[in-house]
Amino acid sequence: MNRTLTVAAAQMGPLQKSDGRDVAVARMVRLLEQAHHRGAEVVVFPELALTTFFPRWYHEDLDEADQWYESALPSPATAPLFAAIRRLRLTVYLGYAEIAHEPDEHGVLRKRRFNTSVVIGPDGEIVLKYRKIHLPGHVEYAPNRRVQHLEKRYFEVGNLGFPVVRAPAGRLDGVNMGMLICNDRRWPESWRELGMQQVELVMLGYNTPSLNMENRGFEAHHLRVFHSELSVQAGCYQNACFAVAVAKAGSEDGHELQGHSIIVNPQGEVMARTTRWVDELAVADCDLDMCRLGRETIFNFAAHRRPEAYTHLTAHAGSVAPAVWSPK
């Protein structure tokens, strides 16, 4: 059976602070329609696709930021998006800020905040949910930074692991789908968690500034797109999977986000790329059987991985100083 799936990266141009959900949702519905016209069965939107990238704005009181979060999906504001998904029979990745009223690790019911993505199926049902694990940035206002990056303030670390699910998508009875969000893509651990569950299609959205806001030396600005692509290409090659990596791009209230959304195959090749900083589609036909070569040969994990030698990977978060050599 031919296992080709047509996928679309639905990059979004900027959303300003003043833009309501209606602006975002109307643009997303147009992108879904365009993607459908181009034959796409799966459409991937960016991280936090319904609002501006609000973790650049500081609020002392978290509750003042509640306007940026969704308490329910669908909601009246997002209903048109779900209606379009059902009408066009699409499978869609959506990133958003989530408020969940659920027990914390001590069993106490709390209002909790996550940087979340979902896979929405063609009946509008939530097929899979993921909550971002590798939160970048910082908790407190950082006076040395030109722009704040307060993800560690606005979100808890995701508590759903790195789930992969096999579900119908487009013409196919079953596709192994997993998700990452933004900074997760730079961490080989994220990709490997998905690869260890035989992921075939990794969907990931991001909001990545086009400039390094720490004002430190060494990192040339032109390398930022390269680092993003390098991470996605290596993740796909080393885990024998496809990825659809999708940016929010352009100037949000004067703060530039890089574009260059890409679709990558299991050889690590870029199959399609957006090149503007506006709402823009990239579409590619993904033959999921291409995942088999890596899995059955060089990256046959069962034959070649050696967990007994991976003594540092899960034993601790931070690094340790190496042994110091001294002459005998």
DSSP-assigned beta bridge partners for residue 9: 44, 282
Least gap, CB of 284 to its own copies (angstroms): 16
CA torsion 70-242-2-87 (nearest 10°) is 20
Q: How far is the CB of 224 from its own copies (least distance, A)?
A: 10
Site track 264-283 with its own copies (rule: CB under 8 A), x = hit? ---xxx--------------
Site for its own copies in 232-261 (CB under 8 A): 233-234, 237-238
Indicate the residue among 44 and 119 with the shorter CB distance to its own copies.
Answer: 119
Integer Cα distance of 18 and 149 in angstroms: 19
Q: How far is the CB of 1 from its own copies (least distance, A)?
A: 17
Q: Which is nearer to its own copies, 98 or 229 (CB)?
A: 229
Dihedral (Cα; 99, 26, 228, 310), 10-degree rounding: 40
| Residue 217 CB partners (closer than 8 Å, separation 6+) | none
State which H helix or E strand residue 26 sits in: helix 21-37
Q: 83 or 293: whose CB is closer to its own copies?
A: 293
Nearest to 279 by CA among 9, 7, 10: 10
Instruction: Decide if 182 is catalytic.
Output: yes
For its own copies, the closer of residues 36 and 134 by Cβ is 134
Restricting to residues 117-146, which ones interact with its own copies according to CB under 8 A? 123, 125, 127-128, 133-136
Q: Smallest gap, in angstroms, from Cβ of residue 35 to its own copies?
A: 22
Toward its own copies, which CB reaches closer, 22 or 214? Answer: 214
- DSSP strands (E only) in 40-90: 42-44
> d(Cα 4, Cα 12) in Å, to the nearest integer?
25
| DSSP for 204-245, written as a single string | EEE--BSS-TT--SS--TTHHHHHHHHHHHHHHHHHT-EEEE
Selecting among 182, 241, 286, 291, the annotated active-site residue is 182
185, 207 contact by CB (below 8 A) = no
Q: Does 227 bind its own copies (CB under 8 A)?
A: yes
Give dist(CA 263, CA 283) in Å, integer: 8
Q: Of 32-40, 41-49, 65-73, 191-199, which segment contacts its own copies by CB under 8 A?
A: 191-199
Q: Which of 47, 70, 193, 252 is catalytic?
A: 47
Instruction: Choose the binding region for its own copies from 35-43, 56-64, 176-184, 275-283 (rule: CB under 8 A).
Output: 176-184
Residues 29-58, interacting with its own copies (CB under 8 A): none
Catalytic-labelled residue, pool 70, 98, 132, 193: 132
Active site annotation includes 47:
yes
- Does position 104 interact with its own copies (CB under 8 A)? The reply is no
Which residue number, 30 or 221, has a Cβ lying nearer to its own copies?
A: 221
Cα 135 from Cα 144, distance rounded (Å): 20
The span of 2-10, 41-49, 86-94, 188-196 binding its own copies (CB under 8 A) equals: 188-196
Q: How many residues does the chain have?
A: 328
One of 27, 56, 113, 186 touching its own copies (CB under 8 A): 186
Residues in contact with its own copies, total (CB under 8 A)?
A: 83
Exposure string over 122-135, b if 16+ CB within 10 A, otherwise e:
bebeebbbbbbbbb
99 lines the binding site for its own copies (CB under 8 A): no
The residues annotated as belonging to the active site are 47, 132, 182
